[in-house]
Structure 1
Amino acid sequence: MDPSRRSVIGASLFSVALAVPNWPDVVGRMEAVQTGQAQRLGMPEVDMVIAMTERVSELDDQFGGRHARPMAAAFLVNTVVPYLKADAPEPVRKAMMSAASDLCYLTGYMAVDEGLHSLAQQYYLKALQLAGASEDHLTYCTTLRGMSVQAVDLGHGRDAMRLADAAAAASPNAGPRMRAFLAGQQAHAAAQTGQCSNALTYLKEAETAMEKAESRAKTFGSYNPSSLTYHIAQVHYELGDVRGSVAAMEQSDKLRHPSHRRTRVRYLSMLAERQLEIGHLDAACDTWGRVVDIYPLVQSGQCDQSVATMRARLRPHLKTPVARALYERARLLAPASLPA
């Protein structure tokens, strides 16, 4: 699939405006940049945007999106937009649009973390536009996959499947780690829509690709064995195998880097909920205890919701001392905006 303007517009999950407020429409308007009204752009500025995106991503992993997203949004408006207007040689202009698309994708990802789904879609669509204009297939595919993740987490399985397939189709020559990255999401979306055979086929494809990727030195993004094992857990759960999902989630946490606090809170919370679902209250409380240890260190809407769910699931078990103690501990840590 060619990342053209038509394909960008067709990738929209819901009907939303294509532009983030105060952003110019970049696609098809490269010739309209007002030469001379902004500084001349070079690769050092592009490298700076790339480095800033990496730093913001690290902050997001450690502390959640609530603090990091406003920083990214301000950087986009105050620094990156003027760069996009600056006079520059064509290769530099394309490189800047590519860097901007990656930052826009990250900002959308953090908006999802805050539960601002409409805003996230606007950032995602702008990332697609910029990636298409700069011929950046990697960010284009990554953004489509991010939209699929958003859809599947909201329970929109058909949209998630369509977007995951579009991401895979846009990257026919993907290397093994990228293929695992895409196929894992296809497996999750297929499982949510009841496509058992397809889900297992995609999962096997992801596993095979990851085996090849792990034998190579270069790493793609953050997709690693922990991410794949998470997808295995999600496929098991969607297909009704809760015990299999619990085992895979436990393995995923063992493989996950401890600095990814926000992800750990979310996925440990899922694990605890599923442990309770199969009647393992003590194991669930132990897992939720780890959640409560990490939770004060992150600022995340998704993590807030995970803790709210934990308290709701514990209420029927408050006569059990371990559940009562955990409930009271969590109640003292939870922000006032959460229900009591």
Structure 2
Amino acid sequence: MVRPVTNAAFEALLRAAGYGSAHGAFARQLNHAGRVHGNWRYDAASVYWWLRGRRPAEYVQAAMAEAFARKLGRPVTVTELGFTTTDVPANAGYPASARHAIDAAEQLWTMLASQLEPRPNGSYQSGAALQAALAWRYDLADEAVSASGRQSVTPADIQSLYVLAEHFTDLDRRQGGGSPRTRTLMADFLMRQVTPMLSGSYTDSIGRDLMRATAMLSGQLAFMSYDAGEHGIAQHHFTIALRLAKAADDRLCGAHLLANLATQAVYLGHAQDAARLAEAAIDGAGRAPAAVRARLYTTAASAYGRLGDRHACQVALTKAQRALDRTNPDSSPRWVSYFSPAHFAGTALKCLGDLRLYTQALRHAPDAITLASQNARTRALHTALIATTHARAGDIDAACGWGRELAQHTLDVHSARLNHRVSELATTLSPHQAIPQVKELLLTLPATPPST
């Protein structure tokens, strides 16, 4: 029995582009548009299920929009595809005031703390991200953030928030953001402990420090949600955190959060948005410490690599490397201490690979894995990236060697991003599965959820 079509917008685009009954032809064009992600194997059956309610990953939607735009001769946005959901209780728009940000945060934390699975989600909103960047950069600073409430907030209270933020950050790096219980635990903590503090009594000075600490906590939960593949929730948290950083009058913290939002945009295929967000972060950070500049320019390079802009990517990488060489831990914010030469090398490897400069990319491979032991997720991500880059460069032996190492690193890490990279490696190697070591590796790699 044929199921009825439920996505009329997607069906209308197929017809307008001349794919009314040629679903296999569209799937082939999609596979071509998404070749940067690996060797996709979508077919007419995939299109059948997309028409009937199945929702592809957001980076697949970005490739769909690209395929339609090329056929129709006009820009096509992801929202036109008809896959957008509206489950997130509020949109990712930039809050008008610190109080609005606090109210939005309380609503979101309360919702997340009460649920495990299924979790509400939503889609990345391109316009909201760019509007948030503009508002953060150019809106006037908050004149005061003092408040009068029942609970008096002290500097010791805020220091405890920084300590707990570091605890959740460490947990995320060791295990990944993919465990819903970990994110629920953090949301519950924010709802029960931080919300009363935000509604408490504090001076302007203490209030700004409270806003900064809360921005870091919200930003951490945003990053965990992004790592778990919950992109609507992640963007919502990033935007709330960005507004709280504005209230804290901490431009470096805000630039860091905006760079994380750019990183999410790169992952989802919104490379032009990502470049704009990264440049806004660089501009807004001003005369930042070298460690912060290194991190921001590295993010910009990632966006330009994904865009295919070789010159801009190389310029950003050079600026990042120069800043990294001048880094002084004593003059850097504590939150940027994680950013190391290995993190730079991993991004350089990725964006040069996006530019198909595989030989240059692989020069960064040794540095990309010189990570501290607690960075289990990053080590796994970089290992997968090195393996895939070798495979795309045609060195199947090296790809298999790194792939076998990857299988050991994935055991205790829960991450949708890591699943994606494992899937990329598998699809890149699949044309060579007649080779015994490739066949053995494909059986060894952990099974990942299909990109529907």
TM range (shorter): 0.7 to 0.9
Assess if the C-alpha contact under 8 Å between 1:250 and 1:271 holds in 2. Answer: no
The count of corresponding residues between Structure 1 and Structure 2 is: 317
Structure 1 residues 218 and 283, CA, compared in 2 at 3 Å: closer, same or farther? farther
- Partners in 2 of 1:183 and 1:175 — Cα distance? 12
Task: Give the one of 249, 255, 261 matched to 1:141.
Answer: 255
- Partners in 1 of 2:426 and 2:285 — Cα distance? 42
Assess if the C-alpha contact under 8 Å between 1:285 and 1:323 holds in 2. Answer: yes
The Cα shift of 1:166 comes to 0.7
Instruction: Look up the SS of the partner of 1:92 in the other structure.
Output: helix
Query: Unaligned regions of 5+ residues in structure 2, if any?
Result: 1-78, 80-90, 95-103, 110-140
The Cα shift of 1:17 comes to 4.4
Question: Is 1:44 paired with 2:159?
Answer: no
Matches within 5 A, 1:327-338: 327-330=442-445, 333-334=446-447, 337=449
The Cα shift of 1:58 comes to 0.4
Task: Give the one of 172, 186, 207 matched to 1:72.
Answer: 186
Task: Give the one of 231, 241, 247 matched to 2:357.
Answer: 241
The Cα shift of 1:95 comes to 1.0
Structure 1 segments, 4+ long, off by >6 Å, are: 27-32
The Cα shift of 1:34 comes to 5.7
- Partners in 2 of 1:114 and 1:229 — Cα distance? 23
Instruction: Look up the SS of the partner of 1:297 in the other structure.
Output: coil
Matches within 5 A, 1:246-265: 246-253=362-369, 255-265=370-380
The Cα shift of 1:257 comes to 2.1
Structure 1 residues 198 and 303, CA, compared in 2 at 3 Å: closer, same or farther? closer
- Partners in 2 of 1:238 and 1:310 — Cα distance? 14
- Partners in 1 of 2:354 and 2:433 — Cα distance? 29
Structure 1 residues 179 and 302, CA, compared in 2 at 3 Å: closer, same or farther? same
Assess if the C-alpha contact under 8 Å between 1:233 and 1:245 holds in 2. Answer: yes
- Find the counterpart in structure 1 of residue 240 from structure 2: 126
Assess if the C-alpha contact under 8 Å between 2:294 and 2:321 holds in 1. Answer: yes
Assess if the C-alpha contact under 8 Å between 1:23 and 1:81 holds in 2. Answer: no
Assess if the C-alpha contact under 8 Å between 1:161 and 1:189 holds in 2. Answer: yes
- Partners in 2 of 1:311 and 1:183 — Cα distance? 31
- Find the counterpart in structure 2 of residue 202 from structure 1: 316
Partner AA of 1:275 in structure 2: H
Assess if the C-alpha contact under 8 Å between 2:215 and 2:245 holds in 1. Answer: yes
Task: Name whichever structure is richer in helix by fraction.
Answer: 1
Matches within 5 A, 1:67-216: 67=179, 68-213=182-327
Assess if the C-alpha contact under 8 Å between 2:353 and 2:361 holds in 1. Answer: yes
Structure 1 residues 49 and 313, CA, compared in 2 at 3 Å: closer, same or farther? same
- Find the counterpart in structure 1 of residue 389 from structure 2: 274
Query: Unaligned regions of 5+ residues in structure 1, if any?
Result: 1-13
CA deviation profile, 1:169-206 (whole Å, cap 9, x unmatched): 11111011111111111222233334333322222111
- Find the counterpart in structure 2 of residue 22 from structure 1: 107
Structure 1 residues 305 and 194, CA, compared in 2 at 3 Å: closer, same or farther? closer
- Partners in 1 of 2:148 and 2:155 — Cα distance? 19
- Partners in 1 of 2:278 and 2:188 — Cα distance? 30
Assess if the C-alpha contact under 8 Å between 1:304 and 1:338 holds in 2. Answer: no
- Find the counterpart in structure 1 of residue 406 from structure 2: 291
Assess if the C-alpha contact under 8 Å between 1:149 and 1:185 holds in 2. Answer: yes
- Partners in 2 of 1:212 and 1:28 — Cα distance? 33
The Cα shift of 1:325 comes to 2.1
Larger CA deviation: 314-323 vs 63-72: 314-323
CA deviation profile, 1:105-154 (whole Å, cap 9, x unmatched): 11111111011111111000000111111112221010111011111122
- Find the counterpart in structure 1 of residue 6 from structure 2: none
Structure 1 residues 195 and 278, CA, compared in 2 at 3 Å: closer, same or farther? closer
Structure 1 residues 316 and 85, CA, compared in 2 at 3 Å: closer, same or farther? same
Structure 1 residues 311 and 91, CA, compared in 2 at 3 Å: closer, same or farther? same
Larger CA deviation: 297-306 vs 173-182: 297-306
Partner AA of 2:392 in structure 1: E
The Cα shift of 1:283 comes to 0.9
- Find the counterpart in structure 1 of residue 83 from structure 2: none
- Partners in 2 of 1:249 and 1:289 — Cα distance? 16
Partner AA of 1:303 in structure 2: L
- Partners in 1 of 2:322 and 2:429 — Cα distance? 39
